[in-house]
Amino acid sequence: MNVMRNKFIMLISIAGLVVVSDQVTKWLITSSLSYYEQVKVIPGFFNLIYIHNPGGAFGIFARNQGTLQSMLFILIAVAAMGLVLYLYKNTPSEYPVLSVGFALIFGGALGNMIDRIRLGKVIDFIDLYIAHLHWPAFNIADSAISIGMVIFGFYILFRKIPL
């Protein structure tokens, strides 16, 4: 029982750190920049930009905006968070890095869901590029989800994990 309690304290700590850092950085961007304003941080590679993403990951379905779409993304996030909680709970204790990955995914999903509930869209601000080739803008929550998914993918591909 104590092991499970410690495991959920770790989940709350990591996911909470992701949500707080995500929301604080979004607040800093929205209070410092005008919509679509850019600040060059590393010329030719990295800008800060304040934009909204009404779509899914990497701007998928961003052109089809609306309340129904926003509700669908919220429902998908809730379902994904439920699945992540299930996987987290059932991850054996000898896989702590995998548990960290699930906590990162959970925190990232929650951070972006907060934006969707508040605004109907997600605030993005990290713009990576080389010359004129730009990666879609993203945020701290997206980064946490991506890192968590890389960890999860590594375990799926290279480790046999009984989930």
Residue 111 inside a domain? The answer is yes
Residue 101 inside a domain? The answer is yes
Assess whether 127 carries a catalytic annotation.
no
Active-site pick, 22, 115, 127, 142: 142
43 three-state secondary structure: coil
| Residues facing residue 139 across a β-bridge | none
134 three-state secondary structure: strand
Assess whether 142 carries a catalytic annotation.
yes
Is this structure's pTM higher than 0.95?
Answer: no
Residue 163 inside a domain? The answer is no
Mean pLDDT of 154-158: 90
Residue 100 inside a domain? The answer is yes
Q: What is the pLDDT of residues 70-129, one digit of tens each?
A: 788 889 999 999 999 999 999 998 899 999 999 999 999 999 999 999 998 999 999 999
Give CA separation, 149 vs 17, 30, 76, 98, in Å: 18, 28, 16, 10
CA dist 159 and 152 (Å) reads: 10
Angle of helix 67-89 relative to helix 2-32, nearest 10 degrees? 150
pLDDT score at 93: 87
Residue 50 inside a domain? The answer is yes
Expressed as residue numbers, the domain containing 107 is: 2-158
Active-site pick, 22, 115, 124, 127: 124
